[in-house]
Amino acid sequence: MMLVDTHCHINFDSYDEDRADVLARAAAVGVQTIINPAVDLATSHAILTLIEQHSGMYGAVGIHPNSTADFDDSMIGEIEAMAHSTKVIAIGEIGLDYHWKESPKETQWKSFEAQLELAKRLELPVIIHNREASDDVMRILDEWVKDLPPKIKDRPGVMHSFSAPESIAERALAAGFYLGFTGPITYKNADQLRHIAANVPLDRMLVETDGPFLTPVPYRGKRNEPSYIPLIVERLASIKQVDAETLGAATTENAFRLFEMAK
């Protein structure tokens, strides 16, 4: 079964000592494709180097909301230049985060909207980070999707590591977005998330680790890595009442459709 980890920060230094082994373990369980999203300009540059070294790795470039405190419009030109790499398949991760309060809301909004406009101009899907900011995220996205170019109209992006209320899932799906599910789908207290997943169409689901964070059971508390994707696939399969092969094949097909990666 070929699987895709649609969100892993494999460039982070927590993988520096054993990155080759991490990738080998992933390949051994069928995770042959990994999408590495950036969180700021420095990681965007680092990812460009890394994705050229690994055939099954793709990147997204952009500025995470928690990295936007010093945002200015000149950064958009730098992101745009990097986005022209053939293995950059999205702008991200971008969005809003009201939990950590590391960047002022006004600066987050400015960065988010500027990067959305860049994605529209470049006809690239977006990887959306939303933490405790659902209403503002969806207000901005609902406006953005109104006049998307045909190339991304039916594949605007993914709500990464989805954890928002069911009403937000419904709005995101209505706007054309995919939903990404991570390790918390395996957690004991995640009944509401599992209820939401049960009602998401199979053709709009993605699986992701968000490594090194959000490690699934039974490895919760340890560093996450792409080889744990089958654990998420198996849990989602049981929720959707299909076999793991069916769920895995669907999420892989979804990832290639959304991000237009080379097969």
Q: Which residues pair with 229 in a beta bridge?
A: none
Residue 243 has pLDDT above 90, yes or no: yes
Half-sphere exposure of residue 186: CA atoms within 13 angstroms, side-chain side? 20
What pTM, to 2 d.p., does this model score?
Answer: 0.97
CA atoms of 84 and 90, how far apart (whole Å) = 10
Tell me the pLDDT tens digit for each residue of 123-137. 999 999 999 999 999
Confidence band of 192 (pLDDT split at 50, 70, 90): very high
C-alpha 124: how far from chain center: 13
Residue 262 has pLDDT above 90, yes or no: no
Confidence band of 20 (pLDDT split at 50, 70, 90): very high
pLDDT of residue 94: 99
pLDDT of residue 71: 97
Neighbours of 110 (CB within 10 A): 15
**Which whole-number Å values give the CA distances from 88 to 12, 51, 146, in the listed order?**
18, 9, 24
Per-residue HEC secondary structure of 69-135 comes to CCCCCHHHHHHHHHHCCCCEEEEEEEEEECCCCCCCHHHHHHHHHHHHHHHHHHCCCEEEEEECCHH
Question: What CATH number is given for 3-259 in this structure?
Answer: 3.20.20.140
CA atoms of 69 and 170, how far apart (whole Å) = 31
Q: Are 197 and 186 in contact (CB under 8 A)?
A: no
Residue 220 has pLDDT above 90, yes or no: yes
pLDDT of residue 101: 87
CA atoms of 110 and 228, how far apart (whole Å) = 35
